[in-house]
Amino acid sequence: MRATVGDRLLVHGRIVGQHNRTAEIIEVLGPDGSPPYRVRFDDGHETLMSPGPDTVVRHQDPAP
């Protein structure tokens, strides 16, 4: 998994009834864009995470 600051992570719910969550990557701590990442969820909560297979990187659109 590779990401840059500003990309978003989509974390899929793992059990029935659990909603997907999205988080913005605010810091990349691994080499060459690899995890771990410091992220901020939409509710303002920040955490350090190493995403698993239930997570997808949504790359930000490059500036025109």
The pLDDT score that the predictor gives to residue 64 is: 63
27: left (phi over 0), alpha (psi -120 to 50) or beta: beta
Confidence of residue 63 (pLDDT cuts 50, 70, 90): low
The answer to whether residue 37 sits within a structural domain is yes
Range of the domain at 29: 8-58
Count of structural domains, the chain: 1
Choice between 17 and 50, residue whose per-residue pLDDT is larger: 50
Query: Phi, psi (5° rounding) for residue 40?
Result: -125, 120
Output the pLDDT for position 5.
Answer: 96
34 lies in some domain: yes
d(CA 56, CA 49): 13
Find the mean pLDDT for residues 4-28. 90
pLDDT of residue 44: 95
Mean pLDDT, the chain, as a whole number? 91
What residues contact residue 39 under an 8 Å CB cut-off, 6+ apart?
A: 9, 23, 24, 25, 26, 46, 47, 48, 49
Note whether residue 24 is domain-resident. Answer: yes
Please, which residues bridge with residue 37 across strands?
A: 28, 49
Residue 3 within any structural domain of the chain: no
- Residues 22-50, mean pLDDT to the nearest whole number: 96
